Chains A and B, each alone.
Chain A
């Protein structure tokens, strides 16, 4: 990949003029840096998924290693999915190409590539649908512009279904609720029938299947890492925490994305969780088997998603917990909120989640038996159960990024805000059209947070970054909070590039900073081992 240009230059170069050539005739750009690397075959084999017919390959290759009857395989797969998903069938038929969704996609805004307009992304499938599955498509060929499934079309699918982060922003504006994320998911499932997957997704999936988490952390190492956080916490607060693992009979099983165990700044939120639970004296346990909240299966196929997700209920059952508490993560919560109970339920263990501290019964999670940590914490704060010193977060001027899935697949909007306003004193919202259900993706969701497409990710993340820049310039915002592990990995480079001087944090890192623990020593450092009260002057005028 060529050197990434300077931000100003990249911004100036965004070109929204449209080509003369109709989109059907523009070949996809499959040059280095514009595609995610395909998966290593071993991952597919390990998971018993269809593989390509050759060895290593690159999307830039002229010939792809697919079987001779690949059209048949896709046609059949398409047909099956039309029967299995009304969403797909309706979305294939009803789009009127009104264009309302066109400029709502962060990838279109950032790249100006017309095939990143949600409507055209969906047309990539739709044109084949019209040709293969509709009568009118056959009779009125000219009028309907159906397209036979050619290798060129297949390449287009690979290119553009891996330039969609399944964020659902387009769906909010569509008069029929057409969800291009759903179309992308179907497109990816079809590609996966030929073994055309990307490594950044399949490797974590294979890891997760075996070890229970995306990073392939084995049980003893997982424990070590958490112990390590406990050492840090002890150093910072003087309080020793000894969480339990795989403990039968605990009241609550806590599951969070493994990114929080592995990578900064997610780790600080993990420390925040530990502090919170200790503060409450909560009867909980962590699992090394179900040690992953995230689920990259969602970005592969519904079957793979189900295979990975099964561990949560299985472990809850085995340990005999009453209910499950889930950490901060975006796509994890899409799976839990909209798929888990349906796929792997009914949840035949425990009881309707009830906060042992406040007695609040989480009726909204009555069936799934899983509560979001911000629902849990907001309830605690509302009932005055936490001792907080908000001044410890005073050096942060905070704004909040709604992650796509909690906002558009769950409606979790005010819980995190309520917590934020109670743990820090300086909070500013980004402009209205860029938050809540209108939020912009970090540009790296749905398994696209891989290095080789960095420039694309920076472009896709531009609308988000630009809104941060707005509050950074206006209010001196220097901390971007979020409740998503992918965000915590993807936003720091995005900020460093577009809005240097803005850090990234999880909500529970801020909670952890503010919590006054029983018997703690006077705190001089935050959870990052940075001084608590460093003044903000140097950030303010960046």
Chain B
């Protein structure tokens, strides 16, 4: 059995303990509240930019669109504009559908064997699509909501989003949907990786680690909000200090739980550029998706195209002239 997830789980727990003890017992608030956050941010920014530039540096020699629908050819044949985009505008739509709605995952099927009647079956399955959508959107909403800690006055769109996110507060006071959905989404994605044999087999520790980390972030966040109420005013004092480049540790201190949460976030942010989490940037650069399927209409230029040795017609005729003449085939040189 693959025990990769155990290692990742242990790693995340240890990191959490480290932050808790560091801030609560060892008095390292400055380290966990100021130094590490700044470092993480720098690592993220530099690393992310580096990776994007590095990808950008590599050439795109050929237009290798993966077409998933009818090409544009004869005017009376219905062209599938977004699965086989012909113009850049159509490419943009294809990309948006992919990035915002995870269109390819929406097509997912599961292959099965009906051994008795010797049929292979393909079932449309939407679980992965659904979990991924839950996870990414709630993550996004949670991230935006947290801008409230880094801006004063709180930007209007943050308050607006909070109102929507808090829709269910009529039923359950204080509840933000996004936090719960994030925890659920991440957990479901994790469960796939722990219980589906194929997923277990292909997963590496690096696949479990960020999931545990994010679950850790969500759990500590929810705990602070619903169980051990932390002092939000002091937290905002700290975060505003960071945002305005005048960092200070608030008088009276903040609960260790917060430092665990914050430390997890820092690790995640710093980890992004070196991991598969870079898919958030890479998706924009995938040549099979971000290019138009018009390579016969518009010539694509390969920056490193170089001359190659070919077998010219002259060489060919040289080889076969007599036979060609005999067969009555026209030749250049009699």
Contact = CB atoms under 8 A, between A and B. Distances in A.
Interface in B279-303: 279, 282-283, 285-289, 293-302
Contact of A97 (B120, B276, B283, B309): B276
B62 interface: yes
Interface in A423-440: 431, 433-434, 436-438
B228 interface: no
Interface string A82-101: 11111111110111111110
B68 A360 contact: no
B29 interface: no
Interface in A304-330: 306-307, 310-311, 314-315, 318
Interface string A459-476: 000110011011000000
Given A360-B74, A462-B120, A87 B276 contact: no
Contacts of B229: none
B170 interface: no
Of A17, A174, A418, the most chain B CB neighbours within 10 A belong to: A174
B334 interface: no
Contacts, number: 324
Contacts of B120: 109, 462-463, 466-467
A326 to B, nearest CB: 11
A360 B77 CA distance: 13
Contacts of A315: 313
B227 interface: no
A66 interface: no
Contacts of B289: 176-177
Given A11-B118, A145-B205, A342 B77 contact: no
Nearest to A11: B118
- Contact size range, A: 35 or more
A143 B206 contact: yes
Given A144-B206, A411-B67, A411-B69, A86 B60 contact: yes
Interface string A276-305: 000000000000110000000000001100
B58 A363 contact: no
Given A289-B313, A411-B69, A210 B283 contact: no
Interface string A340-360: 011101100000000000001
A103 B198 contact: yes
Interface residues of B, number: 105
B83 A437 contact: yes
Interface stretch (A215-223, A391-399, A518-526): A215-223
A231 interface: no
A310 B308 contact: yes
B187 interface: no
A534 to B, nearest CB: 29
A31 interface: no
A75 interface: no
A22 to B, nearest CB: 7
B288 to A, nearest CB: 4
Contact of B58 (A89, A100, A220, A345): A89
B204 A341 contact: no
A117 B66 contact: no
Question: Which of A99, A179, A339 gathers the greatest number of chain B CB atoms within 10 Å?
Answer: A99
A264 interface: no
B14 interface: no
B98 to A, nearest CB: 7
Given A177-B98, A310-B310, A365-B296, 6 more contacts: A18-B197, A86-B287, A90-B55, A99-B199, A99-B202, A176-B286
Interface of B: 1-2, 7-8, 51, 54-74, 76-78, 80, 83-84, 86, 98, 102, 104-105, 107-111, 113, 115, 118-120, 122, 128, 132, 192, 196-207, 209, 274-276, 278-279, 282-283, 285-289, 293-302, 304-305, 308-313, 316-317, 319-320, 323-324, 326-330
- Of all A-B residue pairs in the complex, the 7 with the closest CB atoms, nearest first, are A411-B71, A94-B282, A220-B327, A136-B274, A411-B67, A177-B288, A433-B122
